[in-house]
Amino acid sequence: MPGGVNSPVRAFKSVGGQPIVFDHVKGAYIWDVDNNQYIDYVGTWGPAICGHAHPEVLQALSAALEKGTSFGAPCYLENVLAEMVIDAVPSIEMVRFVNSGTEACMAVLRLMRAFTGRDKIIKFEGNYHGHADMFLVKAGSGVATLGLPDSPGVPKAATQSTLTAPYNDLAAVKKLLEENPGEISGVILEPVVGNSGFVTPDAGFLQGLRDLTREHDTLLVFDEVMTGFRIAYGGAQEKFGVTPDLTTLGKIIGGGLPVGAYGGRRDIMEMIAPAGPVYQAGTLSGNPLAMTAGIKTLEILQRPGAYEQLETMTQKLITGLLAAAHDTGHAATGGNISAMFGMFFTDKEVHSYDDAKEADTEKFGCFHRGMLEAGIYLAPSQYEAGFMSLAHTDADIEKTIAAARQVLSEL
């Protein structure tokens, strides 16, 4: 396997050492092949919001397995999960399931261009929307971690219609819209960034984008692959009260199985084949196992107190981590929104990808190694958000903060 991994973000290239090879997971914990146990704050990059291998999800999957692993045809479960997504996410009137967040973003890109009849898009520096050619321009996630400016193999023609702006910079977006009148199909962004580290929108930024896109008759797309059902049941659009035209989803709606989705206004979504002329297909789309795990996960998240618990626990964690850093003489900044969090080693508030790049990545690498040796598994990159689950306990949080204080005191 190239680099020993099947996804670059799993590598430890930016933090040193070799990646941990896992054997099994349960609740808030992971065990490697040598049977070392870790408290996990990666959560399979977000989907394990209820905890790994949740017994109710496993029970539902076991029953679904008896009916078969793939139909390649319509199944009832697709309709159940579709209704749950439509009920939850303000922008979604119709939805199409696919197999990954990358696939969802690829499809929504084609859809926004077809609907508007325009080719250009605006994305934000450090926002990652999968590895499709048009999105690999100033992307975050593994591209940022490995220091790749743009990926070789992407022809210039594929990216010449991609315009970029700094995140949280409304003036830059306004300028691009004015300089390209009638040419921009849409603006796509992570409403809360998780692929430059954890970066939140400034007050008024999301609403400002909504106003600008309406003024210029262009579409607004929220990539909620990370934030969907995590920072609120209805995602960032519910949390901030700003409704885009289209939304991409993934991770949590598959309950740990491969899944993605895109949806939005009915008049736009009806352009998708076979209802309309925009082609997109997938043999495993709407897979019954992924639908089953997603349905059960969303059912668990709807229970009273779930999001209050996630907010309380995550806030306790990030508050403790920042205090540990400051008390031991390290500059650090960070925060959380519900069950998504992040911390940078810098004395500057982080509002954009450029701000994130000023953080001390060498110190983060040392911190990551120390925490790993203390039994705490964090994302092996400064440029990735962290994730809390309903399975984490107060004892887990306290152990994590104590470990951080010890590691930081030795750095």
**Quick one: which of 397, 381, 391 has its CA closest to 140?**
381
**Quick one: which of 360, 364, 361 has its CA closest to 372?**
364
DSSP 8-state class, residue 73: S
> How far is residue 4 from each of residues 11, 140, 148, 272, measured CA to CA in Å?
8, 21, 18, 38
Hey, what are 377's tokens?
Answer: 């598994």
Residue 187 CA to residue 202 CA, distance in Å, equals 17
29, 41, 128, 167: which one is catalytic? 128
223 annotated active-site = yes
Q: Could you identify the residue written with the tokens 């960034």?
A: 193
> How far is residue 175 from each of residues 46, 243, 327, measured CA to CA in Å?
34, 23, 43
Hey, what are 209's tokens?
Answer: 């984008």
251 annotated active-site = yes
13, 38, 40, 223: which one is catalytic? 223
**Quick one: which of 305, 318, 310, 303 has its CA closest to 389?**
310
SS3 content of the chain, % helix, strand, coil (to 5): 40, 15, 40
Residue 346 CA to residue 90 CA, distance in Å, equals 36
> How far is residue 50 from each of residues 25, 133, 391, measured CA to CA in Å?
13, 33, 6
Q: Parallel, antiparallel, or unpaired for β 29-32 and 376-377? A: unpaired
128 annotated active-site = yes
Three-state DSSP string of 181-195: CCCEEEEEECCCECC
* Catalytic annotation, residues: 128, 223, 251
